[in-house]
Structure 1
Amino acid sequence: MRPLVFALLALLLTGCQINPYTFQPDWTGTSWFTAGKEDAMNGASVKSNETLADNFNDPDVNRSEYLRGYADGQKRICTEDFVYAWGLSGKIFPASCDTAENADLLRKSWQKGMDEGLRASRLN
């Protein structure tokens, strides 16, 4: 019984030890390229500087980096296969593809996927 008490006491005391630097944030600033890329890949439209500053709590918005990242994200998702898969899964057409140069073709691919997804869900 006595070894059990000592073991529990030791466990309790080691569990209470706190490292003060464990949860200290490491602020490196906002990666505006990544923010733009994520917005495009999530299907969101381009955000204004005011919205970006509010969302990231950073008033120094680098608009050119954000737009460069947005364009990179658009290249990745604004393809016929990708928007077809979005339609097949029942997701709305990504707003980031509305400004793509082949937006009409992309919307047709998305609609085809949406129609097939609805047909498949009716069969189940």
Structure 2
Amino acid sequence: MINFPNWLAGMAISLLLLGCSASEQSLATQGDWYQIGYRDGIAGHQQRSYQALHKLGAVQLADYDEGYDDGVTQYCNPDFAYQIGLSGQYYDGVCAGTPAGNRFRMEWQRGWDQYTSH
């Protein structure tokens, strides 16, 4: 049996759930703004404007913000940063200002440099 660290298992489960879950529009229709924000954060995307969110429906901005913050907190784990860079995912600076932001950026850059040197 393979022994995965808890954080790795949690990230894998989160990514699988993102791939299998409802579409963004259906989440907005259901009023699940937390999940929309969480998806943006865990993917490392910049936070959306109110106007962009409003196009999906009646925005619950506080729920979106809470989900986004939770997603960014998980995304900004520097233990994942090297792999994110190595996979070719561009880093959009969402971890700047977080406690581990500088370490995340340096680890991502190390992976990105290896990715782009191939």
1:47-84, Cα deviation, whole Å (9 max, x unpaired):
11111011x1x1x2111111110111112111112221
Residue 85 of structure 1 contacts residue 113 of structure 1 at CA under 8 Å; is this kept in 2?
yes
1:115 maps to what in 2?
113
Give the structure-1-normalised TM-score.
0.64
The C-alpha deviation readout for 1:67-108, integer Å capped at 9, x for no partner, is 110111112111112221111112211443234232211110
* Matched residue, 2:33: 32
Alignment of 1:40-51 (within 5 A): 40-51=41-52
Aligned residues: 92
Tell me the residue number matched to 2:101. 103
Tell me, which stretches of 5 or more residues in structure 1 are unaligned? 1-24
Gaps of 5+ in 2: 1-25
Tell me the CA shift for residue 35 of structure 1.
Answer: 0.5
Larger Rg: 1
CA contact under 8 A between 1:42 and 1:94: conserved in structure 2?
A: no
Aligned residue for 2:23? none
- Once the two structures are aligned, what percentage of the paired residues are identical? 29
Deviant stretches of 4+, over 6 Å: none
Aligned alpha-carbon RMSD (Å): 2.1
